Amino acid sequence: MNQKDVFLFLIVCFFGSLSISAQNVDNTHDGFLHCGTDQQLHKVFAEHPELKAEFELNQTRAEEQDAIDFRNGYQPINSTEKIGNSSQMTPPTYIIPIVFHVIHDYGTENISDAQILDQVRILNTDYRRLNADTISISSTFLGIATDAKIEFHLANIDPNGNCTNGIDRIFSSETYIGDDDSKLNYWPRNKYLNVWVVKSIGNGAAGYAYLPGTAPSASKDGIIIVSTYIGSIGTGNPQTSRALTHEVGHFLNLTHVWGLSNNPGITCGNDGVTDTPVTKGWVTCPAFNASHICNANIEENIQNYMEYSYCTKMFSTGQRTRMYSALGSNLGQRNQLSTVTNWAATGVNNNPPNTCAPTADFLPSDKVFICVGGSVTFDDISWKGHPTSWSWSFPGGTPSTSNDSIPVIVYNTAGVYAVTLTASNSSGSNTLSRTALVKVSSTTAQYSAAQYFEGLESAAVFTNDWTVVNAQGNGWTRVTTAAATGTASVKLTNTESMLGTVDEMVSPSINIDLISNPVFTFKLAFRQRTATDNDRLRVYVSTNCGLSWSQRYSKLGATLSTGAATTSSNFVPGAAEWRTETVSISNVLNSTNVRIKFTFESEGGNNIYIDNINISGPTGINVPDAGIQHFDVYPNPIQEQSIVTFSLEHSQKVNLQLFDMTGRVIAEIFSGTLSEGAHQFPVQGNNFLLSGMYFVKLTTSEGRSATQKLLVN
Ligand SMILES: [Zn+2]
Ligand SMILES: [Zn+2]
């Protein structure tokens, strides 16, 4: 934002805050619609100058046509393709078949059919001027707030001639950064309006659309929109539920009311539609008499659907005429959408629609790691047609088959098991199998020794004893291209295309109880790609076979990085780029069955490597005062952090402090009552302490004490 923009932004905010106490308040929310359409167009035009030239020519033609249409009083075009409608409402002039492609990773972005149906209802309400809030349209514009007579009907026949309910679901990590690459399973644009629903779009945009003739290719034409902007129910909400009304306006050749050259609030602009006044655009909803910004005596159409504010509720008659022109033009093949032939081809006249056979799909409860004797709940999420019967197969489970829609299955034998669902209704059936889905562990730990050490040198051990959970993209892999010691480590190949993905790696079960004063360390190597990447590594422990996890370590971005510089090329660590990480496991010191989980959340940074996963007692045992045993600090000298370990002969109050050379208390590490047995506490390291010698001192209520030197380099 330059100075001028800041100033203009403040003007908008000023009027925005005025509206709270003024009359005609539409909306006191401070949010507004972030539409990515103009940004996307400028990006495409930079790559395809020929599209820009054609677009500008078409916009000039549309503006000239608008001037003629305006002189003629914006008479609606009489379509010969009206269809009969038994309701009292006048029939629509245009019916556009629509399909929603929900791109999902089994998260909340996999929105329900009901939420999409609610969105279609809102779209048709807005384009037929059936919205209840027309009552609060400014009197200046009430006369031109038009019934656009355009309807959107979910497709009932897909491009292959098969049954559909107009809702398509695709499992893909493309949901995390919604862009043209996320436009999977495109249906021909001359038959359908494609709407892709994703979890998020870069820059916080709610969505974007291509105006006719501006898509870089036919298969990218249509609208992409964030799932929380769909409908007013479920993960949607009423305030933001008109984002698609706005984006469809773009699809039908409407620009923002101030044009498409910049964000709202910057310069007075024109949309090539005569009956919508020149404006800078609005992100707030001031009183109508406070909206005369560009011309002193001309009220601006702040409630237009092509504004950014959340008080929009109308299209103008001029905008309708411009949309009709788009639907009559072969630009972007829009003129083929609303024809008798296409209504038949896409089944939008089917009333009631056919019942489609289901496409089988299901979700386990999070509990895919369980101990022997544990249970897993499976949710049917089949789509396209509602199943009326379910046939499940659960090898290794009890029961091993089920006909419930939400079966609960107990697993009594250790192993890794597949699950199969056949979902059926009167129109047919469909089967989905997911292999290696349920991991059932023995309650007896696989590793029981005085030390646990995994240097990843054995390929068989990593394959057989570790579990890699990789939903999409690259997963944790054993490599011999880098190692802290020996020749092998585990690596996650992390690139910009991994953004948003989560990768897990789970250890075999370990008996920690046999390890005296255990300290958990591992070797890490990681680089950022750019200084703003915030990739995160977390480490968790579980004492119930992975059913639940507690987080013990979390680092991100520059703190996670083990090298000073960022690197855009493929990161392979040198010997000096490995760092020892220490993880406090004070919560599981006496557990006989512990699993460790490494979770990496990618923000598109560079590769990460892990090696030498080690749980062992301190090397040099200090013999302190009676009543306190095994008092030690490790690693020493301190790195990112050290762990203080000790055992108490019996429960008592203790005080654990960090002193500097002068005897000054630097940190109160712990003060309180501890139980008998082993304990450990982290000491934050070299980011917090100046170089030098420090002392960690434990004193007990029995008057005992123990002291250890701690070096900071
Ligand atoms: Zn827009
Ligand atoms: Zn205008």
Q: State pLDDT tens for residues 210-224.
A: 999 999 999 999 999
Give the pairing type, strands 477-479 and 652-660: unpaired
Query: Closest ligand to 38 CA?
Result: 1
pLDDT band of residue 365 (cuts 50, 70, 90) is: confident
Ligand (nearest to CA of 308): 1
Q: 303: CA distance to ligand 1 center in Å?
A: 14
Residue 626 has pLDDT above 80, yes or no: no
CA 139 – ligand 2 centroid, Å: 17
More confident residue, 692 or 336: 336
Q: What's the mean per-residue pLDDT of the chain?
A: 88
**Which pLDDT band, with edges at 50, 70 and 90, does 74 fall under?**
confident
Distance CA 706, CA 452 (A): 28
Higher pLDDT, 196 or 80: 196
| pLDDT tens readout for residues 2-15 | 344 333 333 333 33
**In this structure, which ligand is nearest to the CA of 271?**
2
Q: What band does 75 get if pLDDT is binned at 50, 70 and 90?
A: low
Provide the pLDDT confidence category of residue 705 given band limits of 50, 70 and 90: confident
For residue 326, how many other CB atoms are within 10 A of its CB? 20
**Three-class HEC string of 436-489:** EEEEEECCCCCECCCCEEECCCCHHHHHHHCEEEECCCCCCEEECCCCCCCCCE
Show Cβ contacts of residue 270 under 8 Å, excluding neighbours closer than 6 positions. Answer: 258, 259, 278
Distance between Cα 276 and ligand 2 center (Å): 3
Q: Where are the beta strands (DSSP E) in 624-704?
A: 628-634, 641-648, 652-660, 665-674, 677-684, 692-700
Domains in the chain, CATH or no CATH each: 3-73+91-346 (3.40.390.10), 362-441 (2.60.40.10), 452-616 (2.60.120.200), 628-712 (2.60.40.1930)
Q: Is the pLDDT of residue 623 over 80?
A: no
Q: Which ligand is nearest to the CA of 315?
A: 2
pLDDT of residue 342: 97
107 CA to middle of ligand 2, Å? 41
Please give the average per-residue pLDDT across 563-573, as a whole number: 90
Contact by Cβ (8 Å): 230, 242: no
Q: What is the pLDDT of residue 20?
A: 29
Amino acid 518: pLDDT: 84
Check residue 14 and give its pLDDT. 32
> Is residue 397's pLDDT more than 90?
yes
Whole-number Å distance, alpha carbon 59 to ligand 1 midpoint, is 16
Alpha-carbon distance values, 555 to 535, 585, 600, 686 (Å): 8, 16, 10, 15
Say how many Å lie between the CA of residue 282 and the centre of ligand 1.
Answer: 12
Least confident of 15-29, 104-118, 309-323, 428-442: 15-29
